[in-house]
Structure 1
Amino acid sequence: MQRYGLIGKKLGHSFSKRYFTEKFEREGIADATYELYELATIAELPQLLQKQPDLVGLNVTVPYKETVIPFLDELDEAAARIGAVNTIKIAAGKTKGYNTDYIGFRDSLEQVYPATQNSRALVLGTGGASKAVVAALQDLQINYTILSRQAGQGRLTYADLTPELLKQYQLIVNTTPLGMYPAVENCPELPYEALSAQHCLYDLVYNPEQTLFLEKGKSAGAQTINGLRMLYGQAEAAWQIWQNR
């Protein structure tokens, strides 16, 4: 039996177990299982690997995409550049980290948002998912600015973001968990009145499929994309890695 799974702190929101279980059934893969492993701290990972020697692949979710790195034997080149890991391959007792969030976001954005030379993106949040988004924007040659609660070099804070400034960014990507189930009444604090049909809002949150962030964008006539496209893309990329494809 080949065992796969997801590690994170709280996994009640997870889509991965259902996704992979259905994939195994659909493709007639009888010798595989996918489980959820809630870890109080990432320091519990070595113990998990000892207790589950048949684990061959793990997905990583918040808040461990960055803190997992010191616990891995090796990093894929892209994951090292991004500084975050969401997929782990386990072979011959060794662990190697990858970032398929990058692949899922890049490919899904290319499919629905034709970037131009003047495209500018506003990235909400600074966590592991944000780093994957930024790397994808760089490779797609889309200029970007990070929006954070705390000031930093090259960043804006929410207090800095005026309606006039928001109009300068056509693509707005939410990488924060704001609006995720069950706290569906939350959304990033933006001057939503400045949104128009010229904007595209991409929310990495996928549960619910229509977050308050996206609802506000849709009401203003903006194009909206939820996190399911990225989720499917990163999951399939992880499967290809686990299968050496």
Structure 2
Amino acid sequence: MKKIYGLLGRNISYSFSKGYFSEKFEKENLDCEYNNFDLTQIKDFLEVTKDPHVQGLNVTIPYKEEVIQYMDDLDPIAKEIGAINVIKFDKGQKLKGYNSDYYGFTESLKPLLNKTIKKALILGTGGASKAIAYALSHLNIDYTFVSRNPDFNELSYSDLDEDIIQAYKLIINCTPLGTHPNIHNYPDIPYEFITKNHVLYDLIYNPDETTFMSKGKEKGATVSNGLQMLILQAEKAWEIWNM
């Protein structure tokens, strides 16, 4: 029986995962295929679960939190994060949710860190930002969320001033701002206060260099896109499906 894996999301024709896994299956001569499950609403997910060939799924925007309600079980880390990006179909099509985003982010961030980084700003509060927050707490980096509609313990973009930017040397873009084709968009932060000690990390991988990154680079900051994180989380997902 051919094993089917896939990506669950909305408007995902651009997806990295399909190309990555299709190439992997071909190269390693595996009798598997990888499909995009592009759903307009999360309740259509139940149709996907009825296919006995489906063995595992990746989950992307906007379903990393919404899909949790359909899980039979959650890995403890996924439970703590409150968002999942990997689903494993166990015997009898029982569904277990995992999070490999935090692993991909942690391992791709480590080589970029310097001694001045004690605090991080997380731009955006969606499903991906939860895994980022979890990873930072395990790296002993304090973090604060920045949101267009901030809660009591979050900052708004208008709060960001020179003092805050100086204190927070790591800035992570978890918003979709700047994703292809809208490559001229970028998070509204005061880039003039960025220094060579800053690290600007963008979860976006298309384009290779976002406007957020290039604005940081102009100030001498270390910058990274999300490609390495994606590769690492994909390999971790493959490990989970085959445990």
TM-score normalised by the chain length of structure 1? 0.96
State yes or no: 1:18 paired with 2:25.
no
The answer to whether the 8 A contact 1:115-1:142 is kept is: no
Q: CA deviation at 1:209?
A: 1.1
Q: Which residue of 1 aligns with 2:111?
A: 111
Q: Secondary structure at the match of 2:183?
A: coil
CA deviation digits over 1:92-150, x for unaligned, max 9?
A: 2100000000110011111332456x611111011110000000000110011111111
Q: Which residue of 2 aligns with 1:234?
A: 233
Q: Which residue of 2 aligns with 1:45?
A: 45
The answer to whether the 8 A contact 1:13-1:207 is kept is: no
Q: Return the letter of the residue paired with 1:182.
A: P
Q: Return the letter of the residue paired with 1:201.
A: L
- State percent identity of aligned pairs: 49
Q: Which residue of 2 aligns with 1:201?
A: 200
CA deviation digits over 1:212-237, x for unaligned, max 9?
A: 10010111110001100100110000
The answer to whether the 8 A contact 1:73-1:96 is kept is: yes
Q: Return the letter of the residue paired with 2:96.
A: K
Q: Which residue of 2 aligns with 1:97?
A: 97
What RMSD over aligned residues (CA atoms) do the two structures have, in Å?
1.1
- Whole-angstrom CA distance in 2 between matches of 1:205 and 1:89: 25
- Whole-angstrom CA distance in 2 between matches of 1:96 and 1:5: 15
Q: Secondary structure at the match of 1:47?
A: helix
**Stretches of 4+ aligned residues off by more than 3 angstroms:** none
Q: Which residue of 2 aligns with 1:146?
A: 145
Unaligned runs of 5+ in 1: none
Q: Return the letter of the residue paired with 1:163.
A: E
TM-score normalised by the chain length of structure 2? 0.96
Q: Secondary structure at the match of 1:68?
A: helix
- Whole-angstrom CA distance in 2 between matches of 1:64 and 1:115: 36
CA deviation digits over 1:24-51, x for unaligned, max 9?
A: 122221x10001010011111111211x
